[in-house]
Amino acid sequence: MTITPLTDKEQKELSRLQLFYWKEALRCEKAKAYLAGCVMLGSALEALLMNIIDLYAEEAEKTGKIPMSKNKAKPLLKWDLADLLNVAKATGWLPSALDLNSDWNWRKAKVGDYAELVRMMRNLAHPARYLQDHTGRRVTNRYLQRQFEIVLASRDWLVAHNNRELLKAIEEEEKRAAGTP
């Protein structure tokens, strides 16, 4: 159950897309296209998570949450946002305290729970999902602002994880260079 690594070209393109989706969300905000902005932010988070999971594939694999197809790990570029979030929450990169099937609790919710809201809002691009989850309501600027906040918070948690791992690697390298175990 090994995640096939992304190529350098795929990594660079995902990084470019992440920024592109963010800028598109800003354009949507100016145009008052709030649902479109929410979709763009969901895609930005998806691109970010793909790159992080690729970077820390070994840690992701240990969760047992890797999506499978024909008894093999699905290629990372075929994962959906729900798959990516499951792994990010299982690793603790985006901590979560709520069960998706239980009632929302603002006091207990953590960044991974809020990231699920980004996924849910992004899925409103599907007509059936909109009918089931949002009938009779509009997606307003308030929704989009919340999405911006959640994606930024998620990014900050993922960057913090990356920084901790880099510090660990630097410390290990310094110990090796100094000849201490």
Looking at residue 73, what DSSP letter applies? E
Q: What is the pTM of this model?
A: 0.93
How many domains does the chain fold into?
1
* Per-residue pLDDT tens digits for 81-105: 999 999 999 999 999 999 888 888 9
Q: What percent of the chain has pLDDT over 70?
A: 98
- Domain residues for the domain of 52 are 8-178
* Model confidence at 178: pLDDT above 80: yes
Distance separating alpha carbons of residues 37 and 114, to the nearest angstrom = 17
* CA pseudo-torsion sign 57, 61, 63, 65: positive
In a domain, 72, yes or no: yes
SS3 content of the chain, % helix, strand, coil (to 5): 70, 0, 30
Residue 23 falls inside a structural domain: yes
Percent of the chain topping pLDDT 90: 90
**pLDDT, tens only, 139-153:** 999 999 999 999 999
Picking from 111, 119, 122, 117, the residue whose alpha carbon sits closest to that of residue 28 is 122
> Is 134 within the bounds of a domain?
yes
Instruction: Please compute the mean of the pLDDT values over residues 159-170 and round it to a whole number.
Output: 95
Tell me the Cα Rg of the chain. 18
